[in-house]
Structure 1
Amino acid sequence: MTVWGWVLAAIAAASVGVAKGGLAMVGMISVPVLSLVMSPVQAAGLMLPIYVVSDIGGLIAFRRHFDMRVLATALPGAIAGIGIGWAGAHVVPAEGVTFIVGAVGLIFALNALMRPQLSGGQRQPSAARGTFWGVLSGYTSFVSHAGAPPWQVYVQPLRLSALTYAGTTTWFFAVCNWVKLVPYAALGQLSPGNLKAAAVLMPVALVAVWAGLRLVRIIPEALFYKLITWGLLAVSLRLIWQAVA
């Protein structure tokens, strides 16, 4: 890669680390940023090992802060979604999936911002909702590591505490990323070049995990959810633009 390519790769790796430290939406910029200097498929393959290694730091940090009920309702669907993504890898254009992810996130974020009274009530984990949004999250995570908006739609109304939300999100995507290693390897996305570049970038991501963890612990809970919602809005608009550009 060029110098500019390495700069963007470092930014992408740092965004992954911050996401694993608890600010999940930040990680969604990794593939779009890298796609400025390489194909989205190559960018996704380069980022996956960084996600997997960063997951270790996140899991250690949030080993006591997660909601097993939420994971139990969402993970089976997510694994099924990853399988669907693998089966249709050569059929469905990535642009279409990117647009759907952006549209779902945009609708949810606008609803939360314009009608906050509807997002203020607390829901309970649901197998039906968890499976539906889990499938969509797993599928879009497989395509472009963009599973956060569907996950957000399911989890934010549950009104978990900031640490529990961050920890549950970390555990959910850690399992998804481990599962994705198999189809990514089968599709040739874990090339030697991608693995070497990922190894160079991993220290950046691990330092960023610590930074994300510190931010989650000092940000007030109300502000935390506002930042997530605005982050979802910004990322969703970016994904829609990326899909139609």
Structure 2
Amino acid sequence: MLVLDVWFFAIAAPAVVFAGLSKGGFGSGASFASASVLALVIEPGLALGVILPLLMLVDAATLRPYWGEWDWRVCALMIAGGLPGVALGAMLFSRTDADVFRVLIGVISLGFVIWQVGRAQGWIRLAQAALPQWVGVVTGTVAGFTSFVSHAGGPPAAVYLLSLKPGKTEYQANTVLIFTAINIFKFVPYAFLGMFTVQTGMANLALAPFALFGAWLGVKAHHLVPERAFFLLTYVLLVLTGTKLIWDGLT
């Protein structure tokens, strides 16, 4: 049950601003931290249901600032892969209980941190040459799946996108367009799975200004702020929330 009390909004409002900031300016890689944080205080399915319409609102707000900066061919490949990934996520979700998803979201959270730290330290090396197009479809499928179960499509998408060595703004624009489409794909199965309720709708209305504020901050920060401090905070947050979710799911 979702209770819209002071405690919920004290947790949800900063998380939603953070999601908008990440999605609006930093490739959406860390935006799923908001779902991880919310899953600490409400059932994971409801957490995902609260966040999705807000992410879609951020998508709509950030399409215009990055309009035309994306690579249509690259985006089309990943969007084509994203649809079966979303379908796979929906099938798994309908057959799995909440504790499994607490553990899964926690593992994805910790995996994201390990992947990013590994890249920064040189332990994980991405392809020096652009990966072939079929890899774009496969990573799109993985991104669709992880996006469905935890709004965490950014890391798998980045594997292919970063191999193409785009500029910062092209990379950001590609993620905006790709996840706009994937989030639209997710909406109908989320509705059929009962992840939207009257309470989640009321929460969306109350949290919408925070999402838009975060998106505005993200677009501004994209051109002004280095990513290092932002992602350091993200990693700390994800380690804490991921560990707590795994503990809750297993115990």
Superposition TM-score, scaled by structure 1 size: 0.86
Q: Quote the residue 2:61 is aligned against.
A: 57
- Structure 1 residues 96 and 32: alpha-carbon distance in aligned structure 2, compared to 1, 3 A threshold: closer
Residues 149, 232 of structure 1: 8 Å contact kept: no
Residues 25, 232 of structure 1: 8 Å contact kept: no
2:194 counterpart SS class: coil
CA deviation digits over 1:2-31, x for unaligned, max 9?
212112111122122213312223312111
| CA distance, structure 2, for counterparts of residue 239 and residue 156 of structure 1 | 27
Shift of 1:49: 1.0
Shift of 1:242: 4.2
Shift of 1:44: 0.7
| CA distance, structure 2, for counterparts of residue 231 and residue 112 of structure 1 | 17
| CA distance, structure 2, for counterparts of residue 51 and residue 40 of structure 1 | 16
Aligned pairs for 1:143-222 (under 5 A) are: 143-219=149-225
Q: Select the residue among 118, 128, 131 that pairs with 2:134.
A: 128
In structure 1, stretches of 5+ residues that fail to align are none
| CA distance, structure 1, for counterparts of residue 71 and residue 240 of structure 2 | 30
Shift of 1:236: 5.9
Q: Quote the residue 2:13 is aligned against.
A: 10
Amino acid at match of 1:168: N
Residues 118, 124 of structure 2: 8 Å contact kept: no
| CA distance, structure 2, for counterparts of residue 68 and residue 229 of structure 1 | 28
Q: Quote the residue 1:105 is aligned against.
A: 112
Matched, 1:32 2:39: no
Residues 19, 26 of structure 1: 8 Å contact kept: yes
Shift of 1:40: 1.3
Amino acid at match of 1:177: N
Q: Select the residue among 91, 94, 99 that pairs with 2:95.
A: 91
Q: Quote the residue 1:244 is aligned against.
A: 246
Aligned pairs for 1:213-232 (under 5 A) are: 213-219=219-225, 223-224=226-227
| CA distance, structure 1, for counterparts of residue 221 and residue 76 of structure 2 | 27
| CA distance, structure 2, for counterparts of residue 234 and residue 158 of structure 1 | 29
CA deviation digits over 1:56-75, x for unaligned, max 9?
11111111221223212211
Name the % identity.
27
Question: Cα RMSD (Å) of the superposition?
Answer: 2.5
CA deviation digits over 1:175-233, x for unaligned, max 9?
111111100111111112111110111111112111101111124xxx54x56875775
- Structure 1 residues 231 and 74: alpha-carbon distance in aligned structure 2, compared to 1, 3 A threshold: farther
Deviates more, 1:228-237 or 1:126-135: 228-237
In structure 2, stretches of 5+ residues that fail to align are none
